[in-house]
Each structure stands twice: as structure tokens, then as C-alpha cells.
Amino acid sequence: MLQQMNYWLMKSEPDVFSFEDLKACQQQTEPWDGIRNYQARNFMRDAMKPGDQVLFYHSNTNPPGVAGIAEIASKAYPDPTAFDKKSSYYDPKSDPENPRWLLVDVRFKADLKRYVALDEIKQIPECAAMRLIQRGNRLSITPVSKSEFQAIKNAGMRQA
């Protein structure tokens, strides 16, 4: 049975974990830990599936933008950093018997020929409704439509 594929945009600060870092561990998967927002968690828990495609977005950098394509490599499972007192993601209110925070594994999927900066995304007509470009958006994981995903991927595959 052919399962419907979903598309996502996931933000990361490249100083912390960049697309190049993900690519460097190409054979392995990377746990997307530290998500401490219920909406983002619920997307992972309720809608993400292995094989879903991801726009890997660099935030808090100049310029912000989509750096490459990743893919979801696992279903959601408890985020161990929530129980690690030494982790900056430690959450004393997360009960190991009933974990509050989840993560998914992510892996490198494909390079783009070039970076697609936020300024350019704002100019793409297909992307006008994206949550990313709405004022005040802070959500680090957002669903994107197939046409939004394709429009950004196509832009990144065109030569600069």
C-alpha cells in the first residue's frame, strides 16, 4: 500500500547543528533532540513518518534559509535529554514513566545546488502561505505542502 508522504520544515541554528553536520554523518541518523514545544512535539508524534521529506532550515544566522534536504528516519520516541540533568534540555517535570518530550531521527537526503535564503522564499508565489514567512512565527517544526516543498527544492536546484 502506498503511504502518503508528508513534508516538513525543521529549523536548526547552524552554530549548534548545521546541514553540513548532518551530511557529515551521512550513513547514520541524528536524533533531533531538544524540542520543548508542544505543537512541534505533536507534529512529530502524530504526523511524522519515516521517509517524510524535510527542508533543513538554518535559523539565527545571516542569512537564514533552507540549506538542504533531509528525511525522517524514525517514528517519534522519548527524548533522553529531558532526563539528563547535565543537558541544557533537561526538564525535571518530564516523568520517565510518561515522557513529555519526544524526538525523531533525521538523516541526510540530498544537497541543493545552492542555499535558498529566506528573502528568496518570500518571493516565491507558491510559498506565500507558509508559516515560516508569517510574522512572529517561532515554531521550529512546521508542516509544508508538497507544492511549497517542491518550489523551494526547485529553487535550490537552479544554478545561482
Per rule CB under 7 A, is residue 62 in the interface with DNA?
yes
User: Closer CB to DNA, residue 50 or residue 114?
Assistant: 114
The two most distant CA atoms of the chain are separated, in Å, by 51
Residue 139 engages DNA in binding (rule: CB under 7 A): yes
Stretch that binds DNA, among 43-51, 53-61, 68-76, 101-109 (CB under 7 A): 53-61
Name which of 103, 109, 93, 153 is nearest 19 in CA terms. 109
Residue 34 parent element (H or E): none
Give me the sheet containing 7-12, strands edge to edge. 30-31, 105-117, 65-72, 53-58, 7-12, 141-144
Distance CA 22, CA 105 (A): 11
> Which member of 21, 119, 154, 158 binds DNA (CB under 7 A)?
119
Q: Which is nearer to DNA, 50 or 118 (CB)?
A: 118
Site for DNA in 12-41 (CB under 7 A): 13, 36-39
Residue from the set 49, 50, 59, 124 that interacts with DNA by CB under 7 A: 59
Interacting span for DNA (CB under 7 A) from 14-22, 43-51, 66-74, 134-142: 134-142
- Residue 11 binds DNA, judged by CB under 7 A: yes
Sole residue written with cell 538542504? 68
125, three cell numbers:
508565489
Q: Does 136 bind DNA (CB under 7 A)?
A: yes
Q: Which is nearer to DNA, 13 or 20 (by Cβ)?
A: 13
Amino acid making up residue 95 = D
8 A C-beta contact, residue 50 and residue 75: yes
